[in-house]
Amino acid sequence: MGVCGQDDWVDVPPLDEFSLDNSANSVHGRRNRLLRIDRENRRFSEIEQIFKKGWRHRKKDRPQIQCIFKVLWPESMLESYLAYRHQIVRAKDMRGNEQLLFHGTDRACLLGETRNNVLLCSLQKCSLCSILRTSFDVRRCGSKNAFKRFGHGIYTTSCSSKADDYVSNLSNDAGLRVMLVSRVVVGKPYKRYRNAVDLIGPPMGYHSIAGEIGWDLNYDETVTYHNDTIRPAYLVVYGHKEESPVTVKEFISSMFKTPLAS
Ligand SMILES: [Zn+2]
């Protein structure tokens, strides 16, 4: 009986943190793709910190984060993203420059509104659920906003208060707001200070466009032009919950746990 040499080992990469197949996420089924993160979790503080730091509009009150969900993906959806990142890492001898960036979009349903609202809807107008189901699609990006500063690409930003400008609740029952935090393979960004609305990609040797603050921009933005450059990673639920005023009758009723006669 021979002894296995080191060459016989097959190098199997560990499953991605966001994979549904990762045993760390095993409590979740394929319909429920959102995993709520506890406030005590280190990841919660990290996301909260970049959200707070990114809230740079002085005239907009910084909202409270109510909840953060991690977005889980079927392995097949992560493979192409990780393959792209790997390609950049190898090509440029760098770590792919993966960043967590914000994106605001339309929500027609009440996803994330409470900790139990975690199933993606199938409403056609719900861009949020569409993105969470199949990730970003360059062909559909920017269809809402006719003006595309850096051409036809996928727009993200480190400025949460800027992404907030694009967050829109289409349901009147929505009380909170939700924003996507995505993993973006920024690679080597090409810095631009002026608009370039006809762009369909970065120049040779670059992987993204970084819209720099200056001439035409007040807040930074990152644009990539390929679907596999990005995957949503977290959903931040924020805003101020409206407390319904508790009447004296309800208060007494709750104390004694008995309904009061009217
Ligand atoms: Zn939805």
Q: What is the pLDDT of residues 40-81, one digit of tens each?
A: 999 999 999 999 999 999 999 999 999 999 999 999 999 999
**pLDDT, tens only, 205-248:** 899 999 888 777 788 999 999 999 999 999 999 998 765 555 55
Q: How far is the CA of 137 from the centre of ligand 1 (A)?
A: 17
Which has the minimum average pLDDT: 4-13, 128-137, 234-243?
4-13
pLDDT at 212: 81
Ligand 1 mean position to 222 CA, how many Å?
25
3-state secondary structure of 23: helix
Instruction: Please give the distance, rounded to the nearest whole angstrom, from the Cα atom of residue 152 to the centre of ligand 1.
Output: 24
pLDDT for position 146: 58
Q: How far apart are CA 241 and CA 173, in angstroms?
A: 13
CA of 174 to the centre of ligand 1 (A): 12
| Whole-angstrom distance, CA of residue 91 vs CA of residue 259 | 69
Residue 29 clears pLDDT 60, i.e. is over it = yes
Centre of ligand 1 to C-alpha 40, Å, is 28
CB 18 within 8 A of CB 79: no
Give pTM, 2 decimals.
0.84
Least confident of 14-28, 54-68, 85-99, 179-193: 85-99
Q: Is 112 left (phi over 0), alpha (psi -120 to 50) or beta?
A: left
pLDDT for 95-113, tens place per residue? 678 999 999 999 999 999 9
Q: Ligand 1 center to residue 167 CA distance, Å?
A: 13
Is the domain spanning 16-21+29-238 CATH 3.40.50.970? The answer is no
Cα(125) to centroid(ligand 1), Å: 8
User: What is the three-class DSSP state of 66?
Assistant: strand
Output the CA 151–ligand 1 centroid distance in Å.
27
**30 Cα–ligand 1 center, Å:** 16
Instruction: Give the helix ranges, DSSP H, for the chain.
Output: 42-54, 75-92, 127-134, 160-163, 248-256
129 CA distance to ligand 1 middle (Å): 4
Q: How far is the CA of 69 from the centre of ligand 1 (A)?
A: 15
State in Å: Cα 7 to ligand 1 middle. Answer: 49
Ligand 1 centroid–CA 168 distance in Å is: 12
**Measured in angstroms, how far is the CA atom of residue 100 from the centroid of ligand 1?**
22
Query: What are 38's two structure tokens?
Result: 């506890």
Q: Are strands 230-238 and 168-169 parallel, antiparallel or unpaired?
A: unpaired
For residue 48, the model assigns a pLDDT of 98
Q: Please list all protein residues whose beta carbon sits less than 5 angstroms from ligand 1, which is an ion.
A: 109, 111, 121, 126, 129
Residue 4 has pLDDT above 50, yes or no: no
**From ligand 1's centre to the CA of 130, what distance in Å?**
7
Query: How many angstroms does the Cα of residue 157 sit away from the middle of ligand 1?
Result: 22
Let me know: does 88 contact 96? Beta carbons within 8 Å.
yes
